[in-house]
């Protein structure tokens, strides 16, 4: 496979992911790195078949299991998340932040466990953008509920569907105009 050339920003994120894997005693292969890079570069969630198309070259057509194995690895190491509703993948938000400029209260190591167990996503129906939120209070609430039910929780994914701030703003003016027209003019 000819490695895809990634931007310096993506390369920095990939190097961080690499270091993270090493710390977990795992190895980031060229293939896994390329798949992760493609997911990092995508603006919206990417499906396995999209990835398969992207890594295809005239002399090499990787089989779907190759991509699935790489995705499983990236999921297991908390580098990406699967959006069940869309059957697509997004990079873990914590990977996108530079640990040196990032708020230490929300550094990757701190949130990593939370992230592996529960991930919460705000999915915009309009632009298909996905925002990951890591609120430990959600995890704590779920843990409490499961404890009461004697349910052994292994993972949870919370997917909220709606409009992001930008798309909601764009959707609003038409409604405002309609209201203005409908309201009686002031004397």
| Contacts to Zn ion by CB under 5 A | 92, 115, 124, 126-127, 129, 164, 167
Q: The tokens 């190759």 sit on which residue?
A: 66
Nearer to Zn ion, 31 or 131 (CB): 131
Residue ranges of the binding site: 111, 124, 127, 164, 167
Residue 14 CB, nearest distance to Zn ion (Å)?
16
| Whole-number Å distance between alpha carbons of 71 and 20 | 16
DSSP state of 77: T
Residue ranges of the binding site for Zn(2+): 124, 127, 164, 167
C-alpha 35: how far from its chain's center? 14
Nearer to Zn ion, 74 or 164 (CB): 164
Nearer to Zn ion, 67 or 83 (CB): 83
Residue 119 CB, nearest distance to Zn ion (Å)?
5
Residue 180 CB, nearest distance to Zn ion (Å)?
25
Number of other residues whose CB lies within 10 A of the CB of residue 100: 7
Residue 185 CB, nearest distance to Zn ion (Å)?
34
Report helix, strand and coil shares of the chain as percent, to nearest 5.
Answer: 55, 15, 30
Two structure tokens written together for 3 = 């490695």
| Whole-number Å distance between alpha carbons of 17 and 8 | 14
Nearer to Zn ion, 70 or 115 (CB): 115
C-alpha 136: how far from its chain's center? 17
Q: Do residues 165 and 154 make contact, with C-beta atoms less than 8 angstroms apart?
A: no
Residue 32 CB, nearest distance to Zn ion (Å)?
17
Q: Pseudo-torsion of CA 144, 154, 122, 10, nearest 10°?
A: 130
Residue ranges of the binding site for Fe cation: 111
């Amino acid at each position: 496979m000819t490695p895809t050339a990634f931007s310096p920003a993506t390369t920095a994120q990939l190097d961080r992911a690499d270091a993270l894997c090493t710390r977990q005693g795992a190895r980031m292969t060229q293939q896994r790195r390329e798949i992760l890079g493609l997911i990092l570069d995508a603006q919206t969630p990417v499906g396995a078949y999209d990835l398969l198309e992207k890594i295809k070259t005239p002399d090499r057509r990787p089989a779907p299991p190759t991509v699935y194995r790489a995705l499983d690895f990236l999921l297991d190491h908390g580098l990406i998340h699967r959006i069940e509703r869309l059957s697509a993948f997004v990079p873990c938000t914590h990977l996108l932040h530079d640990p040196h400029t990032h708020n230490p209260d929300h550094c990757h190591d701190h949130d990593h466990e939370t992230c592996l167990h529960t991930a919460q996503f705000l999915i915009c129906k309009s632009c298909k953008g996905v925002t990951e939120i890591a609120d430990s209070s959600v995890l704590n609430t779920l843990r409490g509920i499961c404890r009461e039910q004697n349910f052994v929780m292994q993972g949870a994914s919370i997917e909220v569907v709606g409009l992001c701030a930008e798309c909601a703003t764009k959707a609003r003016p038409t409604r405002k105009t309609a209201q203005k027209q409908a309201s009686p003019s002031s004397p």
